[in-house]
Amino acid sequence: MLYVDSLLCTPLEKERPDNRPALKELAAGNVGCATVTVGFWEDATESMDQIVKWRNMAEDNADVVEIAYTADDITRIADSGRCAILLGFQNVAFLQGRLGYVELFARMGTRVGQLTYNIQSDVGGSCYEPHDSGLTRYGKYVVREMNRCGMVVDLSHVGNTTTMDAIRHSAEPVAITHSNPAELAPHPRNKPTEVLDALKDNGGVIGLSVYRNIVGDYTTPDKWSELVAWTVDRIGIEHVGIGTDFDQTGGMAYLEWMRQGRWARETQYGAGSKSNSGPQPRLGWFDDPSQFPNAEACLRDRGFDDREVGLIMGENWLNFYRRTFKQL
């Protein structure tokens, strides 16, 4: 069975001694494909530097990972017992307002781009803005260019108005790589039912997360599988996958960069709060990629059959990538 994680936040490209064990956790969990976070706030040059680091990391650890550029790459790498790494960004700051950079970064291997991160941008509104501007004129061009170049439009941290605009404007299925239903777990990062319904109509997929700040009360295997079942009932099983949002090694400095980059002097808390500001405790049963089999087990305990489990654990994402990835 293919396991796919549509969002891994861990900075595995860094030269740190705990990265090899973190990579081995992917192998221990039999994870066949994971979309990684290459960057958040980096400009074009910094983003290219990040891509170089990820490429170097993959070359140095070729026994456990390989960067994938096509859906066929994913199946080939997974069949070899390794993890296919998809290069993704949780912001399109790497464009620097230049539409032509979409194709350049796609040719460099970028397969996923989240339209906005935690603040308003020239593309559209963030989920944390008090007023969501919607998709800008430039943002519409970006979405269509991402469609043309086979770069997945990710709407996870994007404001709801901008999300709906992007879904309506996109000529290809879009993704919400790491989020949960707001009806069950109210949080600005999570998606209301009208967004989930629009995602279904668009042919997209949502990766349900186990990040404690956005999972609400659905923290046990039984409760989390209930959240999965609710989402399946709402939008159909072909539109549901897993996007853990795991950060295995980042630490507090990485978390601070993630939350505020260079755009604020005051402390920003992202999905947390002043009273809940640090790295979050794990759920206790699905704490890192090595425990992916526990997710399969809880889905089976919920009553999903073999075909349904296979779709949720990874086949839905692979099918989505087959529809959206393009060779330039």
Backbone phi, psi, residue 3, to 5°: -100, 130
Strand boundaries in 69-216, DSSP class E: 83-89, 110-114, 152-154, 175-179, 205-208
Share in percent of the chain as helix, strand, coil (round to 5):
45, 15, 40
The pLDDT value given to residue 19: 86
Q: How many domains does the chain have?
A: 1
Please say whether the beta carbons of 235 and 199 come within 8 A: yes
The pLDDT value given to residue 16: 67
CATH code of residue 105:
3.20.20.140
The pLDDT value given to residue 217: 97
Please say whether the beta carbons of 251 and 280 come within 8 A: no
**C-beta neighbour count of 24 within 10 angstroms:** 15
pLDDT tens for the chain, 328 residues long, are 999 999 999 999 876 677 899 999 999 999 999 999 999 999 999 999 999 999 999 999 999 999 999 999 999 999 999 999 999 999 999 999 999 999 999 999 999 999 999 999 999 999 999 999 999 999 999 999 999 999 999 999 999 999 999 999 999 999 999 999 999 999 999 999 999 999 999 999 999 999 999 999 999 999 999 999 999 999 999 999 999 999 999 888 999 999 999 999 989 888 888 887 777 789 999 999 999 999 999 999 999 999 999 999 999 999 999 999 998 8
The boundaries of the domain holding residue 313 are 3-324
Cα–Cα distances in angstroms (integers) from residue 61 to residues 20, 67, 80, 240, 250, in the given order: 8, 11, 14, 30, 19
Residue 205 and residue 203: Cα distance in Å, rounded? Answer: 7
